[in-house]
Homo-oligomer: A and B are copies of this chain.
Amino acid sequence: MDAAFQDFYAEKFSHCHGCGKNNPAGHHLKSRWDGDDTIARFLPKPEYSGGVPDHVYGGLIASLLDCHGAASAAAFAHRAQNREMGSEGEPIRYVTASLKVDFRRPTPMGIELVIKGKLRSMDERKVWVDLTLSANGEVCASGEMLAVRYRQ
């Protein structure tokens, strides 16, 4: 499978619990292109239940949207320069300034979740990303993120 956006993060910035390849205890979320949009897939372990054991914990849902959104922002910014992550030139990295999550229905456990990102708009320093998290083809949570370019 193609490398994920997070695989191109600099080593010293790869410790995120949600998506850093250098965090052995983390989730290792991997985000990739899906046409002009972005996609990641994740199967939560049973310990990530919400109040009831058969639903996913809201904190994990926010985390997946957060890590996928920030990685997507970086990918969108690279494409806007007609290049890909990992290509020559200065790497572009984003951090989350604001994240809103709407929990539309309970997210079931034991099913691979699909997280998608769509570019809403971009300026020189900021990227707005629309996000969804689905299970069995149904959107369980939607989100919107403002990501801000990080000066490394």
Q: Which residues of A contact B (CB under 8 A)?
A: 9, 12-18, 20, 23-26, 47-53, 57-60, 62-64, 66-67, 70, 93, 95-103
Chain B residues positioned under 8 Å from A53 (CB to CB): 15
Out of B52, B59, B98, name the residue touching A59 (CB < 8 Å): B59
Contact A58 B18 (CB under 8 A): yes
**Copies of this chain held together in the complex:** 2
Which residue among A16, A23, A58, A101 has the maximum number of chain B CB atoms within 10 Å of its CB? A58
Contact A16 B96 (CB under 8 A): no
A136 to B104: give the CA distance in the assembly, Å.
35
Contact A62 B17 (CB under 8 A): no
Chain B residues positioned under 8 Å from A24 (CB to CB): 47
Chain B residues positioned under 8 Å from A50 (CB to CB): 15-17
Interchain nearest-CB distance for A44 vs B (Å): 9
Query: A12-B52, A23-B47, A23-B49 known; A60 and B17 CB under 8 Å?
Result: yes
